[in-house]
């Protein structure tokens, strides 16, 4: 009987040991590594990716028995975890993202240009993925690579979809130093919005590019490209919803909503269009995007113009009025619109029929100001001099500018244009040249008399 009890006790002990061993076996991983795929990245933009491990499988042995549990690394913030199931709850996404940004990444991949990237052979655990590029701001991405629903704990592949917090717009121009009436080309670059909002509660229904220029008249779209596809004019709609009193554009809307089902989120969008400079001082061109699934950061570009003021003076530096000038560039006389006494702005092509090439110096300070100019050399050619002064004076002035909009005006001398008084003639009734004229006539008569007298003598 005692032997039977000992055998039963031994069997019971074996069962308990096997039971504990089975618990340990149940959490053993059958696949040690997996892959994490990141999708919905911006197309054609160099994106930097960082992978940060936040959860690991902790193994401890006590009294010869191994136990395993899920744990967070000490640097992790804003997360709670069930140590047995591995279930994660994010309590503060901003704190978690900030902690990850301050942490040294476990894996980094820079300059990803496609819309997807896969981190391969990742050890089992939980991860944060950070993405950054020039196209926009990405939200927090979290993935785990363990299958807690399986009978045996095992690694599994995971996919995270990049969520946009905001998209970036860039705007460029082919010329920042311009003249009034010049046609300028602008390029707007952004990315196609996500098909759903970050919460997943709304589908994309609106995608419009809204341009708000100042001092410009938009004249038309040159091209629109999404991804590698060039759109035709009937693939989108354009509306100029408002104009200013001078005919310049106030609001210009390009509606691309009809293309929502034709392109992937993150596709590169490039729009080129032209505009005529209406202002005679500067222009500013801002752009934004209207989308119901993500915010966009507005962008703008600006241009500037030069002006020249010359002063009409005499040899003593006293101001003169009454002069009239033409202004030539590249040997061609320019057209101007008078805006005030002695002030003219360069004319638009459409204004030339009512413009003038003759600029009057009509102010008491002798100044003539022209505005709406770009870089280059301008020749002031006097076509009418002030009364009592010699005419035909010319002065060439060169305008340059650097990237900081510092305009430099240079001339052979200062910008004074000097006239010289005509030689004085005596007043009527004075002796003046009369006596010399009479004397000359007498000499001529005497010479003629001597000539004919000598001819008579010879004939006798």
pLDDT value, residue 266 = 83
pLDDT value, residue 414 = 60
Cα 71 to Cα 68: distance, rounded to the nearest angstrom: 10
Per the CB < 8 A criterion, the answer to whether 160 and 143 are in contact is yes
Radius of gyration of the chain (CA): 43
Tens-digit pLDDT profile for residues 171-180: 999 999 999 9
Mean pLDDT to the nearest integer, 214-234:
96
Tens-digit pLDDT profile for residues 313-353: 999 899 999 999 999 999 999 999 999 999 999 999 999 99
- Length of the chain counted residue by residue: 460
Q: What angle do CA 282, 288, 293 make, to 5 degrees?
A: 175
- 310: confidence class by pLDDT, cuts 50, 70, 90: very high
Cα 217 to Cα 240: distance, rounded to the nearest angstrom: 10
- Fold of the domain spanning 31-162: Immunoglobulin-like (2.60.40)
Residues 286-308, buried b or exposed e (16+ Cβ, 10 A)? bbbbebebbebeebebebbbbbb
- Fold of the domain spanning 306-419: Immunoglobulin-like (2.60.40)
Whether 422 shows a pLDDT value over 90: the answer reads no
Report H helices in 77-189. 93-102
* Percent of the chain whose predicted confidence (pLDDT) is above 90: 56
Cα 205 to Cα 256: distance, rounded to the nearest angstrom: 10
Whether 400 shows a pLDDT value over 80: the answer reads yes
pLDDT value, residue 26 = 42
- CATH 2.60.40.10 in the chain: give the residue spans: 306-419
Cα 298 to Cα 289: distance, rounded to the nearest angstrom: 7
pLDDT value, residue 405 = 62
- CATH 2.60.40.740 in the chain: give the residue spans: 167-304
Tens-digit pLDDT profile for residues 79-90: 998 888 778 889
- 244: confidence class by pLDDT, cuts 50, 70, 90: confident
Cα 21 to Cα 138: distance, rounded to the nearest angstrom: 45
Q: Tell me which of 361-365, 376-380, 425-429 is least confident.
A: 425-429
- How many CB atoms within 10 Å of residue 125? 21
Whether 366 shows a pLDDT value over 70: the answer reads yes
Q: What is the mean pLDDT of the chain?
A: 83
Per the CB < 8 A criterion, the answer to whether 194 and 293 are in contact is yes
- Fold of the domain spanning 167-304: Immunoglobulin-like (2.60.40)
Cα 41 to Cα 433: distance, rounded to the nearest angstrom: 95
Picking from 74, 84, 23, the residue whose alpha carbon sits closest to that of residue 53 is 74
Per the CB < 8 A criterion, the answer to whether 271 and 288 are in contact is no
Mean pLDDT to the nearest integer, 47-75:
89
* Full-model pTM: 0.69
């Amino acid at each position: 009987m005692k032997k039977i009890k000992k055998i039963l006790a031994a069997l019971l002990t074996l069962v308990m040991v096997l039971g504990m061993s089975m618990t340990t076996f149940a959490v053993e991983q059958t696949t040690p590594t997996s892959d994490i795929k990141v999708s919905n990245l911006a197309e054609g933009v160099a994106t930097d990716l960082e992978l940060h491990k936040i959860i690991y499988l902790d193994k401890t042995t006590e009294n010869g028995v191994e136990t395993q549990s899920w744990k967070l690394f000490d640097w992790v913030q804003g997360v709670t975890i069930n140590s047995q199931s591995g279930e994660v709850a994010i309590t503060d996404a901003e704190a978690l993202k900030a902690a990850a940004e301050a942490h040294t990444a476990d894996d980094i991949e820079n300059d990803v240009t496609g819309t997807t990237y896969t981190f391969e052979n990742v050890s089992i655990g939980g991860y944060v993925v950070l993405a950054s590029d020039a196209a926009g701001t990405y939200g927090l991405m979290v993935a785990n690579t363990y299958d807690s629903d399986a009978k045996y704990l095992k690694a599994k592949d995971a996919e995270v979809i990049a969520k946009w917090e905001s998209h970036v717009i860039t705007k460029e121009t082919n010329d920042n130093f311009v003249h009034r009436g010049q046609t300028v080309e602008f390029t707007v670059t952004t990315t196609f919005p996500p098909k759903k909002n970050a919460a997943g509660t709304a589908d994309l229904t609106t995608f419009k590019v809204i341009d708000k220029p100042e001092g410009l008249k938009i004249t038309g779209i040159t091209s629109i490209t999404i991804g590698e596809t060039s759109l035709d004019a009937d693939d989108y709609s354009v509306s100029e919803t408002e104009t200013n009193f001078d005919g310049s554009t106030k609001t210009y809307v390009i509606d691309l909503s009809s293309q929502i089902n034709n392109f992937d989120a993150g596709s590169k969008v490039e729009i080129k269009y032209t505009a005529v400079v209406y202002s005679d001082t500067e222009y500013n061109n801002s752009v934004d995007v209207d989308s119901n699934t993500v915010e966009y950061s507005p962008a703008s570009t600006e241009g500037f113009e030069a002006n020249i003021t010359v002063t009409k003076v005499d040899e003593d530096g006293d101001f003169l009025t009454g002069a009239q000038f033409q202004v030539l560039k590249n040997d061609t006389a320019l057209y101007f619109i008078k805006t005030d006494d002695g002030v003219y702005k360069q004319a638009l092509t459409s204004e030339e029929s009512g413009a003038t090439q003759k600029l009057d110096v009509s102010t008491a300070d002798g100044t003539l100001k022209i505005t709406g100019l770009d870089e280059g050399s301008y020749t002031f050619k006097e076509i009418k001099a002030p009364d009592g002064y010699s005419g035909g004076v010319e002065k060439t002035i060169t305008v340059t500018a650097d990237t900081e909009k510092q305009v430099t005006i240079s001339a052979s001398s200062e910008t004074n244009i000097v006239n010289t008084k005509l030689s004085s003639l005596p007043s009527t009734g004075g002796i003046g040249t009369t006596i010399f004229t009479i004397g000359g006539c007498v000499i001529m008569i005497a010479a003629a008399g001597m000539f004919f007298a000598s001819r008579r003598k010879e004939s006798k």
